[in-house]
């Protein structure tokens, strides 16, 4: 391939810039041209595309967000949308694309590949919910942000002997909630993958209260049916402990990427371009037991990510 494109799509994640930088510099070092496609698949449909050179990705490795911007693009799910994208690929000479995003973005990449534009997916989402990889760019930074925020909450929760019920992101997945819940010593963790009534949480709080505990943190994934406000009210009504609900929200998606995210993004971006250079598309980059590998995009989209049930049990056991 002589010219490749790169785009970021779906929810942004810290480390996406490091991935873009790696893609651009790897491709340039191999003698290929790189076209930056802005605002996810929107840019491909609207022709919001421009060449990128080595200095266009200077001073971005340490920045959150994405210099290419990102978007959700419903039009790309239509036949006309894809056709426009293919036309623009031809117009700009784009022979293959690195798509940095989550599962949804991979589906778009699969559809584009079916139309003859080979794509390679790079996993980028703070949710770490892509089945084909153990790790997604942004997860580590988001975990650290959550822990920093909850540590602050802990101070005031402890001073007032209250219970803080904290919502962390994860519309469909509790991986972020589990890891951060363990890291902050939450008394209970609620995730969409494991049924858990508020009654169980109340029992746990009462049990630890008998053991002398005076303040409580409950971590709840966004995907859990009840809101943190409702959960807090129920706990307060049953226990008499004053509860406060906090939604951490989009603060979790921003900030300087951690070392892990910068390094993973750099390796993954490089691996994606290496595939395209060999003329290999329709793959996704994965992290698997310490190695950066790649898988067929169709196979990757069929996979289901198991929830770490053992980790959940450990969290429950040690939160006494
Ligand atoms: P993520 O990539 O983070 O999972 P989304 O699910 O919002 O985020 O998907 C990002 C974009 O990928 C969508 O806005 C759309 O342009 C494209 N996309 C998602 N699902 C599909 C699909 N089934 N077919 C084609 N494109 C899709
Ligand atoms: O997929 C990443 C994510 O941050 C989810 O955790 C969250 O549910 C969603 O995106 C929020 O999306 P939006 O940016 O549209 O509010």
| pLDDT tens for each residue of 115-155 | 999 999 999 999 999 999 999 999 999 999 999 999 999 99
12 Cβ inside 6 Å of ligand 1: no
Q: Which two tokens stand for residue 201?
A: 């949480």
In this predicted structure, the answer to whether residue 96 has a pLDDT above a threshold of 90 is yes
Tell me, using a 6 A CB cutoff, whether residue 128 lines ligand 2.
no
Please indicate whether residue 209, judged by its CB atom, sits closer than 6 Å to ligand 1: no
Polymer length of the chain: 320
- Residue 189's DSSP bridge partners are 219
Tell me, using a 6 A CB cutoff, whether residue 2 lines ligand 2.
no
Asked whether the domain spanning 142-251+309-318 has the same topology as the one spanning 3-126+260-288, the reply is yes
Ligand nearest to the CA of 172: 2
- pLDDT tens-digit profile of 156-210? 999 999 999 999 999 999 999 999 999 999 999 999 999 989 999 999 999 999 9
What the block records as the tokens of 228 is 């943190």
pLDDT tens-place string over residues 254-308:
999 999 999 999 999 999 999 999 999 999 999 999 999 999 999 999 999 999 9
Helices (H) and strands (E) in the chain, counts: 11, 11
Pocket test for ligand 2, best of 171, 173, 174, 220 (most atoms within 8 A of CB): 171
Residue 163 in contact with residue 232, Cβ under 8 Å? yes
| Residue 54: φ, ψ to 5° | -60, -35
Among candidate residues 106, 85, 104, the one with its CA nearest the CA of residue 37: 85
Whether residue 75 has its Cβ less than 6 Å from ligand 1? no
3-state SS string for 59-93 = CCCCCCCCCCCCCCCHHHHCHHHHHHHHHHHHHCC
What CATH number matches the domain at 3-126+260-288, 3.30.230.70, 1.10.3300.10, 3.90.380.10, 3.40.50.450?
3.40.50.450
Ligand 2: which residue has its CA nearest to atom 15? 11
Residue 173 CB contacts under 8 Å (≥ 6 apart), including other chains: 127, 128, 129, 191, 192, 193, 221, 223, 305, 307
Percent of the chain with pLDDT over 70: 100
Average pLDDT over the chain reads: 97
Closest Cα partner for 23 from 303, 318, 277? 277
Residue nearest to ligand 2 atom 1, measured at CA: 11
Q: Tell me the C-alpha distance between 293 and 286, whole Å.
A: 5
pLDDT of residue 105: 97
Q: Can you tell me the distance from the alpha carbon of 153 to that of 216, in angstroms, rounded to the nearest whole number?
A: 10
pLDDT of residue 36: 98
Q: What is the pLDDT of residue 320?
A: 87
Q: Strand, helix or coil at 101?
A: strand
Pairing of strands 49-51, 33-37: antiparallel
User: Which ligand minimizes its atom distance to the CA of 128?
Assistant: 2
Going from the Cα of 188 to the center of ligand 2, the distance in angstroms, rounded, reads 23
The residues that are catalytic are: 127
Nearest CA to ligand 1 atom 15: 73
| Cα angle 171-139-53, degrees, rounded to a multiple of 5 | 115
CA distance 254 to 264: 17
The residue to mutate among 8, 11, 14, 168, having the most atoms of ligand 2 within 8 angstroms of its beta carbon, is 11
pLDDT tens digits for range 33-62:
999 999 999 999 999 999 999 999 999 999
State residue 104 phi and psi, 5-degree precision: -60, -45
What are the residue ranges spanned by the domains of the chain? Answer: 3-126+260-288, 142-251+309-318
Given this model, what pLDDT does residue 24 score? Answer: 98
| Contact (CB, 8 A) for 30 and 273 | yes
Question: At 279, which helix (H) or strand (E)?
Answer: none
Q: Is any ligand 1 atom within 6 A of the Cβ of residue 139?
A: no
Helix (H) or strand (E) holding 97: strand 96-101
pTM value > 0.95:
yes
Q: Whose alpha carbon is nearest atom 8 of ligand 2?
A: 171
Q: In the CATH scheme, what architecture does the domain 142-251+309-318 have?
A: 3-Layer(aba) Sandwich (3.40)
Ligand 2 center–CA 14 separation, angstroms: 13
To test the pocket of ligand 2, the residue of 139, 169, 174 to mutate (highest count of ligand atoms within 8 Å of its CB) is 169
Ligand 2 in reach of 171 Cβ (< 6 A): yes
Residues 217-262 have pLDDT tens digits of 999 999 999 999 999 999 999 999 999 999 999 999 999 999 999 9
Nearest C-alpha neighbor of 143 from the set 167, 171, 175:
175
Q: What is the dihedral of CA 112, 114, 119, 125, to 10 degrees?
A: 60
Read off the pLDDT band of 91 (50, 70, 90). Answer: very high
The answer to whether the beta carbons of residues 190 and 200 sit under 8 Å apart is no
């Amino acid at each position: 391939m002589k010219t490749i494109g790169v785009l970021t799509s779906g929810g942004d994640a810290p480390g996406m810039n490091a991935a873009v930088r790696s893609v651009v510099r790897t491709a340039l070092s191999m003698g290929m041209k790189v076209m930056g496609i802005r605002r996810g698949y929107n840019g491909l449909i609207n022709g919001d595309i421009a060449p990128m050179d080595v200095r266009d990705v200077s001073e971005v490795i340490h920045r959150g967000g994405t210099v290419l911007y990102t978007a959700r693009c419903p039009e790309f799910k239509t036949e006309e949308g894809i056709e426009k994208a293919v036309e623009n690929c031809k117009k700009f000479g784009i022979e293959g694309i690195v798509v940095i995003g989550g599962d949804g973005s991979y589906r778009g990449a699969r559809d584009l590949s079916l139309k003859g534009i080979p794509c390679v997916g790079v996993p980028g989402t703070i949710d770490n919910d892509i089945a084909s990889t153990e790790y997604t760019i942004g997860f580590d930074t988001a975990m650290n942000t959550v822990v920093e925020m909850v540590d602050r909450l802990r101070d005031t929760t402890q001073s007032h002997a209250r219970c803080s019920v904290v919502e962390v992101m994860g519309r469909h997945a509790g991986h972020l909630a589990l890891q951060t819940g363990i890291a902050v010593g939450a008394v209970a963790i609620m995730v969409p993958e494991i049924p858990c009534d508020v009654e169980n949480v109340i029992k746990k709080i009462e049990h630890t209260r008998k053991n002398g505990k005076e303040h409580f943190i409950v971590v709840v994934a966004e995907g859990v049916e009840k809101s943190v406000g409702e959960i807090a009210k129920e706990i307060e009504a049953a226990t008499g402990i004053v509860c406060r609900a906090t939604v951490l929200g989009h603060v979790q998606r921003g900030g300087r990427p951690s070392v892990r995210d910068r390094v993973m993004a750099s390796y993954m971006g490089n691996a994606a371009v290496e595939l395209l250079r060999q003329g290999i598309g329709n793959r996704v980059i994965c992290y698997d037991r310490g190695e950066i590998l790649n898988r067929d995009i169709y196979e990757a989209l069929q996979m289901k990510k198991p929830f770490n049930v053992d980790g959940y049990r450990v969290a429950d056991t040690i939160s006494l």
